[in-house]
Amino acid sequence: MNYTVILSIINYDCDYLFPLLKEDYLMHQTKCYAALSQNSPLIHHTISRREIGKKDVFVEIEFCGVCHTDYHYAKNDWGITKYPFVGGHEIIGVVKKLGVDVKKFNLGDRVAVGCFVNSCRACNSCHNNLEQYCANGLVKTYNDPTLDPGGYTFGGYSKSIVVDEHFVFSVPQNLDPAGAAPLLCAGITTFSPLNHWRVGQGMNVGIIGLGGLGHMAVKFASAMGANTTVFTTSEKKTIDGYRLGADNVVLSFDQSALRKKNGNFDFILDTVPIPHEVSKYMPLLKVDGTLCVVGSIGSTGELNTRPLIFGRRRIAGSLVGGMKETQKMLSFCGEKNITSDVEIIKIQTINEAYDRMRKNDVKYRFVIDMRKFSN
Ligand SMILES: [Zn+2]
Ligand SMILES: [Zn+2]
């Protein structure tokens, strides 16, 4: 394979990937489900992946979670999708091949791959275990430039994936592998802010939204020992809120119920993935309280500064976690036996699953059983 040609067609700063050129880059083929255009359903397809390099782990994929982001990319909702597109960044599998210099893993280990598969490893963020905020370009698990065959990354709706060991996680043996898959995006997206703001016993924590992310946030906040309140627009989800570990459930359209919670919370995590009024929750925070949003919802209208200044309150945002924090989350889940509530599907039904996900008709995450996807 001629890498000079590959580099010339990637309009991206890939200098930090040059050391990879020293590796022995052979290719192998793997079956997958791909969108061939923004108007096509996902169909059976074949992609090439690199053969393992010295520090690479070959993972045979067992389960892959289905994230809203996969759907947005498949449909080119953000105008940046390259086709064929292979989604999936909540990956659980088994190590089947190891590069000669791999130290962290053994053959047969159960492992996970999350939302990114490379970073510059040299910037301040990378040095501080915050690879998710890499200043020089994170390589996300799908649709991002790479020197790998195809020129951009392909995700976990496939039989196998090859990833540098630094970007692979160990999965505690006691965790159900299907339920563990969504921990890699929905899980870490909510664990990271709860961990960063040191949520624990004696704190009042609010979780806005009870979907794929929100249901994990409730489990985590409750397991961390916080007094946990769920805000939901759905009366039907009240019972689930309590079942998942909440101490209180408040209907977010009930203004008088909200007012009763004014000045009550140390930390509020807003998990709602669609535009909504964020500032109405600000008065619910205590002095010095923080409201953190994790949904990429764009503008939410003008910020009302009054509840911020009358209480020195903060509004913040957060992405997924870095490698160290994600491994910490998986260990925490192993100790507390926390997994996602999932509905397991076959890859052949992924298009129906996308339709149902768009209607919020899932409790609380679809996970594809890739073992049943035969070559
Ligand atoms: Zn995701
Ligand atoms: Zn970096």
In a shared domain, residues 301 and 240: yes
Three-state SS at 187: helix
**CATH number for the domain including 115?**
3.90.180.10
Contact 64, 181 (CB under 8 A): yes
Write the burial class of residue 24 (CB in 10 Å: 0-12 exposed, 13-18 middle, 19+ buried). exposed
Residue 170, number of CB atoms within 10 A of its CB: 15
Give the whole-angstrom CA distance, residue 223 versus residue 205: 12
In a shared domain, residues 197 and 274: yes
Tell how far the Cα of 308 is from the centroid of ligand 1, in angstroms: 30
Out of 276, 292, 317, pick the residue that ends a domain. Answer: 317
Q: Mean pLDDT across the chain, nearest whole number?
A: 92
Out of 276, 300, 317, pick the residue that ends a domain. Answer: 317
Q: In this model, does residue 16 exceed pLDDT 60?
A: no
pLDDT at 375: 54
Out of 276, 294, 317, pick the residue that ends a domain. Answer: 317
Model confidence band, residue 24 (pLDDT cutoffs 50, 70, 90)? very low
Mean pLDDT within 277-303: 91
In a shared domain, residues 304 and 205: yes
Task: List, for residues 40-52, the tens digit of each pLDDT value.
Answer: 999 999 999 999 9
In a shared domain, residues 163 and 208: no
Give the whole-angstrom CA distance, residue 219 versus residue 289: 21
In a shared domain, residues 166 and 201: no
pLDDT at 372: 82
Ligand nearest to C-alpha 155: 1
pTM equals: 0.91
Cis peptide bond upstream of 364, omega within 30: yes
Tell how far the Cα of 324 is from the centroid of ligand 2, in angstroms: 14
Instruction: Fill in the amino acid letter for 346.
Output: K
In a shared domain, residues 196 and 268: yes
- The beta strands (E) that lie in 16-168 are given as 27-35, 42-50, 56-65, 91-98, 110-113, 116-118, 139-140, 160-164
Q: Where are the alpha helices (DSSP H) in 260-322?
A: 306-309
Task: List, for residues 60-119, the tens digit of each pLDDT value.
Answer: 999 999 999 999 999 999 999 999 999 999 999 999 999 999 999 999 999 999 999 999
In a shared domain, residues 251 and 342: no
In a shared domain, residues 119 and 252: no
In a shared domain, residues 364 and 284: no
How many domains in the chain? 2
Give the whole-angstrom CA distance, residue 316 versus residue 327: 23
In a shared domain, residues 230 and 141: no
Please identify every residue whose CB atom is under 5 Å from ligand 2, which is an ion.
119-120, 123, 126, 134, 136
Identify the domain containing residue 220 by its residue range: 186-317
CA–CA distances in Å: residue 217 to residues 60, 102, 115, 247, 339: 29, 34, 18, 13, 11
**CATH number for the domain including 196?**
3.40.50.720
What tokens appear for 102 in the block?
């791999």
Task: List, for residues 337-369, the tens digit of each pLDDT value.
Answer: 999 999 999 999 999 999 999 988 999 999 999
In a shared domain, residues 74 and 155: yes
Contact 204, 284 (CB under 8 A): no
Model confidence band, residue 10 (pLDDT cutoffs 50, 70, 90)? very low
Please identify every residue whose CB atom is under 5 Å from ligand 1, which is an ion.
67, 69, 185
DSSP letters, 57-79, are EEEEEEEEE--HHHHHHHTTTTS
Ligand nearest to C-alpha 136: 2
In a shared domain, residues 116 and 242: no
Give the whole-angstrom CA distance, residue 335 versus residue 95: 23
Choice between 187 and 9, residue whose per-residue pLDDT is larger: 187
